[in-house]
């Protein structure tokens, strides 16, 4: 049964959409794309997770297609970012741009994860499936963004553990809802706050994941391939 007490405030979802659109636009500008390219990357970032959630898992019309705000908001964000593209390209060096994108993603990731989990719960999906849909909703936009611009997705690289933090807070949301009977709205805000806190602590204490392999496996493969190639 749908929990009618759960309503993510409209501004909450719009801010998340804005955040992901901005992160996509920053990446597109840094890659030197034209206005269409920047819009496509912003659109993928802002709607990719919701599109997979709705069209693949929940079998419903994607939310951004029925919302009167989402697409205009993404388009307006793209135009505004494009208008300021010249100062952005001077100000946003590689390290600065990466930090800005990470910061914006940290705002949008838990917001969309919470929305995805509640929609999955409304469909009667088991707990593990609910958490999985929350993870997809929270991370797929950034994953698609990075793949399209031919970057190794930050989700897959060693670094400060965004994906692990999201798993923790998604599990926290389910514990609060199922075992402690916390209202959905309160559980949602606690989840978002917990994610931000974990990200801040990870940055402050430099908590990072490590590569599974200790050595440069790619380099070793390339060296082996080169050495086995016969001379002309």
Inside any domain, residue 168: yes
The domain total for the chain is 1
Q: Which position has the token pair 């690289």? A: 157
Nearest C-alpha neighbor of 170 from the set 121, 203, 131, 220: 131
Inside any domain, residue 38: yes
Predicted local distance difference test score (pLDDT) of residue 12? 67
pLDDT in tens, the chain (232 residues): 344 444 556 666 787 898 899 889 988 988 989 999 999 999 999 999 999 999 999 999 998 999 899 999 999 999 999 898 777 666 556 566 667 677 777 778 898 899 899 889 989 999 999 999 999 999 999 899 999 999 988 788 887 678 889 999 999 999 999 999 888 888 888 998 999 899 888 877 888 888 887 655 554 444 444 445 444 4
**Measured between alpha carbons, how far is 114 from 138 in angstroms, rounded to an integer?**
8
Range of the domain at 150: 10-208
Inside any domain, residue 222: no
Predicted local distance difference test score (pLDDT) of residue 144? 92
Inside any domain, residue 3: no
Inside any domain, residue 132: yes
Inside any domain, residue 229: no
Inside any domain, residue 226: no
Helix axes 184-205, 94-122, angle to 10 degrees: 150
Nearest C-alpha neighbor of 43 from the set 72, 10, 3: 72
133: which residues sit within 8 A by CB, 6+ positions away? Answer: 53, 57, 58, 116, 117, 119, 120, 125
């Amino acid at each position: 049964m749908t929990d009618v007490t759960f309503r993510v405030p409209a501004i909450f979802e719009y801010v998340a959409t804005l955040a992901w659109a901005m992160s996509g636009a920053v990446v597109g500008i840094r890659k030197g794309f034209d206005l269409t390219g920047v819009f496509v990357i912003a659109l993928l970032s802002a709607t990719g997770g919701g599109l997979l959630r709705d069209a693949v898992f929940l079998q419903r019309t994607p939310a951004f297609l029925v919302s009167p705000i989402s697409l205009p908001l993404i388009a307006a964000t793209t135009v505004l970012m494009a208008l300021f593209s010249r100062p952005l390209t001077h100000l946003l060096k590689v390290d600065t741009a990466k930090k800005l994108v990470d910061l914006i993603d940290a705002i949008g990731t838990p917001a969309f994860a919470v929305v995805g989990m509640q929609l999955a719960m409304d469909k009667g999906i088991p707990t593990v499936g609910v958490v999985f849909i929350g993870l997809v909703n929270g991370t797929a936009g950034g994953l698609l963004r990075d793949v399209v611009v031919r970057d190794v997705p930050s989700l897959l690289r060693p670094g400060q553990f965004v994906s692990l933090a999201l798993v923790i807070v998604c599990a926290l949301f389910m514990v609060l809802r199922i075992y402690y009977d916390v209202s959905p709205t309160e559980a949602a805000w606690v989840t978002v706050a917990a994610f931000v806190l974990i990200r801040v602590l990870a940055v402050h204490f430099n908590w990072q994941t490590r590569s599974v392999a200790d050595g440069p496996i790619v380099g070793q493969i390339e060296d082996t391939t080169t050495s086995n190639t016969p001379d002309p």
